[in-house]
Amino acid sequence: MNDTEKLYMKRDWYENVEVLLSVDKIQDRIKELAAEITRDFQGRDLVLVGVLKGSFLFMADLCRQIDLPLSCDFLGLSSYGDHTETSGVIRITSDLKRPIEGKSVLVVEDIVDTGLTMQYLLDNLRTRHPADIKVCSLLEKPARRRVETQIDYLGFSVPDVFVVGYGLDYKGRFRNLGYIGHLKNPDGDK
């Protein structure tokens, strides 16, 4: 546990969060992913599409490590609301600001669990005629998968527990943790 993680643990409002992936482990994996992406997208017109809100920290760190000219855009999707289970109903809450036609698109996601949201997103983006689409997800929960899901660049597989931190939230909280943790009692008092 590094100094940042120790500081978080001293705060009582994080007492229900158990560290799963440390700050250092996350940052090391991001560097590895960025090196792969840099190699694979040489000479292409690359657009990173961050899925809001959860991917914003991951995408910021990832894009700074990619050694290529690129552009960034964001798309907001919702399927959870304030719950720990997906509703299965996906809606776009904020759309891309620029066209992606003819460009190489790298979707940057915080977590893929059931695969329903990613399937919806990829189907939607394909109608916009990009040159190609790849997916980079920091996390996946294979135990929750309902549909086959394309993940070309994966950070980590995690167990079927509710995770928060490093952009992932519960009712808007915990995004500011530098690490990823298991929220042991999401519906508790803290």
Q: In this structure, is residue 154 part of a structural domain?
A: yes
Q: In this structure, is residue 18 part of a structural domain?
A: no
Q: In this structure, is residue 67 part of a structural domain?
A: yes
Q: In this structure, is residue 61 part of a structural domain?
A: yes
Of 86, 97, 108, whose CA–CA distance to 153 is shortest? Answer: 108
Q: Exactly one of 110, 113, 132, 169 is catalytic; which is it?
A: 113
Q: In this structure, is residue 104 part of a structural domain?
A: yes
Is residue 103's pLDDT more than 60?
yes
**Is residue 113 flagged as an active site residue?**
yes
In tens, the pLDDT along 132-171 reads 999 999 999 999 899 999 999 999 999 999 999 999 999 8
Give the CATH number of the domain where residue 47 resides.
3.40.50.2020
The pLDDT-based confidence of 81 (bands split at 50, 70, 90) is: low
Q: In this structure, is residue 169 part of a structural domain?
A: no
Q: In this structure, is residue 59 part of a structural domain?
A: yes
Q: In this structure, is residue 134 part of a structural domain?
A: yes
Write down the pLDDT at residue 190. Answer: 42
pTM of the model: 0.87
Total tally of structural domains belonging to the chain:
1
Instruction: Give the mean pLDDT of 63-90.
Output: 80
Q: Residue 108's domain spans which residues?
A: 23-160
Instruction: Give the mean pLDDT of 7-22.
Output: 72
